[in-house]
Amino acid sequence: MRILTSLIALFLLVNTAYGHDMVSLVKKVKPSVVGIGVYTPLGNPKNELRGTGFVIGNGHYVATNHHVLPEVLDPERLQEMVVFVGVGRDAKARKATIVGSSRYHDLAILKIEGERLPAMSLAGDDFYPEGSEVGFTGFPIGAILGLFPVTHKAMLASITPVVIPVKDTREMSITMLKRLRDPYMVYQLDGTAYPGNSGSALYDETGKVIGVINKVFVQSTKEAVISNPSGITYAIPVRHLRKLMRDNQVSE
């Protein structure tokens, strides 16, 4: 009986400690999480949240997905690309400029105006082993729920080629055909990301960035991903972000 009681006490102690570690980790990460969007002073609404980003380098740079960036900005409406800093209605928009981007790896680096922000540290280039527990924090469905960071826990379910098989060759795009010739490996997670999570940092138990969330497997339609998520999410390994940083003289 005493042995059983001791085992239960140890179990509770370990789980309580893990819980506190997660609390501390989320508290550490959240100040580095920002929104990526467009500011239209003559629009209604004025602010459009397009995805998530996280602070890197010296605190003046932000990493996100290439597909999160606006394709065009309307100069007649004085549109500007911005990064939203802060939480909820207290969030402020800072003007941002594109430093570098990669459509192939779906990554982009922005430089933001104003005071430096706390930056996240990057992990090395080696892949983390399958089964590793990870987290990601961003703005799922942020256009509706607002700028309130949400954290998800997940496991690295697989390291898999970026190309996803299709049922019929007619479904394949030119971009997919090019990737078939030289696919790169990405992380597959068992956690669920939603629209707005694109560009979120995928980090380990210490808060080091190991990848960038970039897509979720959609079973039917994009609209159905909210009510019927697949639970399969993909992330670009941080090695490709580090290379983009080096190519554009952004130091870690």
Q: How far is CA 116 from CA 16, 49, 111, 119, in A?
A: 34, 21, 10, 9
Element (H, E) at 81: strand 80-85
Residue 183 CA to residue 160 CA, distance in Å, equals 10
Q: Is the pLDDT of residue 1 over 50?
A: no
Separation of CA 216 from chain center? 11
**pLDDT bucket at 222, cuts 50 / 70 / 90:** very low
- 68-79 pLDDT, tens digit each: 999 888 888 889
Q: How far is CA 158 from CA 106, 132, 168, 230, in A?
A: 19, 10, 24, 15
* Token pair listed for 225: 């991903």
Mean pLDDT (the chain, rounded): 83
Q: Which domains does the chain have, with CATH numbers?
A: 133-247 (2.40.10.10)
Structure confidence at residue 217 (pLDDT): 53
**Residues 43/148/105/95 CA torsion (nearest 10 deg):** 40
Q: Stretch 191-204: mean pLDDT, rounded?
A: 91
**pLDDT bucket at 234, cuts 50 / 70 / 90:** very high
- 6-44 pLDDT, tens digit each: 433 433 343 444 445 889 999 999 999 999 999 998 888
Amino acid at 129: P
- 46-62 pLDDT, tens digit each: 888 999 999 999 999 99
